[in-house]
Amino acid sequence: MSMTPNDWRERYVTTNTPWDLGQAHPELQARIDAGQLAPPREGAKALVPGCGHGHDALALSAAGWCVTGLDCVELVTAAGGLGAGLREALAEGGGGLEICDALGFKGQQEFDLVFEHTFFCAIEPESRPAWGTTVQGALAPGGQLAVLLFPGDKPVEEGGPPHRYGVPDMQEVLGPEFGLTVDEVVSKAVSKRSWQERWVVFSRSAKLGSTS
């Protein structure tokens, strides 16, 4: 079933958000704590498309990244409410929140990290090339795309969202400038999730136009 921004909003307003962990994904947090996701320099930027309530975005911000979160749903009302404070919290760390279609986001290759968690699986498979274009536009040469890949083994006939996908589906829309550097089953899986979660990292070539 294809989801419109209004459909996503309705899911948040009715708290029908089974994807929301109420905290950063434990695998992301563990890898941050282990120093694997340290910003390469002060002011380094990270992009979190489809950030939802922003738990992962906030964890990366706390780790020192200037995080821009993107979501098609404005979760903050004048009276506070869902997601209140996210924009301000990200701004404090030098980033921000943009309410937009992330598949049309025009980056300037200024992000050193793109973190993807249950956004790729939420879009329709025919929108994946646009996701690839977003990442290509956002990620700096030499930057990293870190992915909490889910659902890795959901039967395809069950459809989505979440839609099953794998590394080849991402590689296809990222192109040859992106090389797979990590692909492993997470050690901090979310117990309520029925399907496999993997930690995947693609590194973008430092010299664009080259594949090495």
Using rule CB under 6 A, residue 74 touches ligand SAM: no
Span of 47-55, 136-144, 149-157, 196-204 interacting with ligand SAM by CB under 6 A: 47-55
Give the Å distances, CA to CA, from 119 to 8, 43, 57: 12, 25, 13
Q: Does 51 sit near ligand SAM (CB under 6 A)?
A: yes
- Note whether 73 binds ligand SAM by CB under 6 A: yes
Contact 195, 153 (CB under 8 A): yes
Per the listing, tokens 């274009």 go with 133
Q: What is the DSSP letter of 164?
A: P
Closest separation in Å from C-beta 186 to ligand SAM: 14
Q: Which residue has the tokens 């941050």?
A: 32
Our finding on whether 70 is near ligand SAM (CB under 6 A) is: yes
> Residue 6 has what DSSP assignment?
H
State which residue, 73 or 177, has the beta carbon closest to ligand SAM. 73
Residue range at the interface with ligand SAM (CB under 6 A); choices 69-77, 137-145, 170-178, 204-212 = 69-77
Please pick, from the candidates 31, 46, 52, 165, the single residue that binds ligand SAM as defined by CB under 6 A.
52
Strand residues in 118-160 grouped as ranges (E): 139-149
Strand ranges (DSSP E) for the chain? 45-49, 66-71, 96-99, 111-117, 139-149, 178-185, 198-204
61 touching ligand SAM, by CB under 6 A: no
User: Rule CB under 6 A: which residues touch ligand SAM?
Assistant: 8, 19-20, 50-53, 70-73, 101-103, 117-119, 122-123
